[in-house]
């Protein structure tokens, strides 16, 4: 539960920034998390559709981006780095009313780069598969500073 709570705090920070994540994914629900892994859900709504009535590829790409970031957060990181590479394979479609299940994992966090994998499904049907690479060297520095500040506050 500690990992899930930590990821929820990171996600709240994303939403509070008021940018694109908040506009596109405000309905994202974090369901469960363990070290380096997180499961989320999103109900497909009208604003998520393309002109043909299917789930927009841009939305699925954003989910891969955010899913990868939250998987890094599940490695107990507050800052999650910046994207260097994002790849999405669109396997099948999703439509309004579908519930997307987003299974994200952090495959490796190194000193400079983190590698993540994201699987988006509706039921047993794979909708998209993604890989997300992030530059995390500065994130490691930010995380160390946050832990130092938390330790100083706890000792007061």
pLDDT digits (tens, 9 = 90+) for 34-92: 999 999 999 999 999 999 999 999 999 999 999 999 999 999 998 999 999 999 999 99
The confidence score (pLDDT) of residue 151 equals 72
Look at the pTM and tell me if it is higher than 0.95.
no
Q: What is the mean pLDDT of the chain?
A: 94
The confidence score (pLDDT) of residue 114 equals 97
What is the arithmetic mean of pLDDT over 119-131? Answer: 98
The confidence score (pLDDT) of residue 153 equals 72
What is the arithmetic mean of pLDDT over 18-34? Answer: 95
Contacting residues for 153 by C-beta, under 8 A, at least 6 apart? none
By DSSP bridging, strand 82-90 and strand 99-109 are unpaired
Residues 133, 65: Cα–Cα separation, whole Å: 9
φ/ψ (deg, to 5) at 15: -65, -40
Residues 13, 78: Cα–Cα separation, whole Å: 10
Domains of the chain: 2-155 (3.10.129.10)
């Amino acid at each position: 539960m500690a990992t899930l709570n930590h990821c929820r705090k990171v996600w709240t920070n994303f939403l509070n920034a008021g940018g694109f994540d908040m506009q596109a994914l405000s309905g994202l629900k974090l369901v469960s998390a363990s070290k380096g892994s997180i499961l989320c859900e999103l109900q497909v709504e009208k604003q998520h559709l393309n002109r043909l009535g299917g789930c927009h590829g841009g939305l699925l790409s954003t989910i891969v981006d955010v899913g990868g970031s939250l998987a890094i957060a599940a490695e107990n990181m507050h800052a999650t780095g910046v994207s260097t590479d994002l790849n999405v394979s669109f396997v099948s479609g999703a439509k309004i009313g579908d519930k997307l299940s987003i299974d994200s994992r952090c495959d490796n966090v190194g000193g400079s780069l983190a590698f993540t994998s994201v699987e988006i499904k509706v039921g047993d049907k794979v909708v998209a598969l993604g890989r997300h690479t992030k530059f995390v060297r500065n994130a490691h520095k930010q995380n160390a500073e946050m832990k130092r500040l938390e330790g100083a506050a706890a000792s007061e």
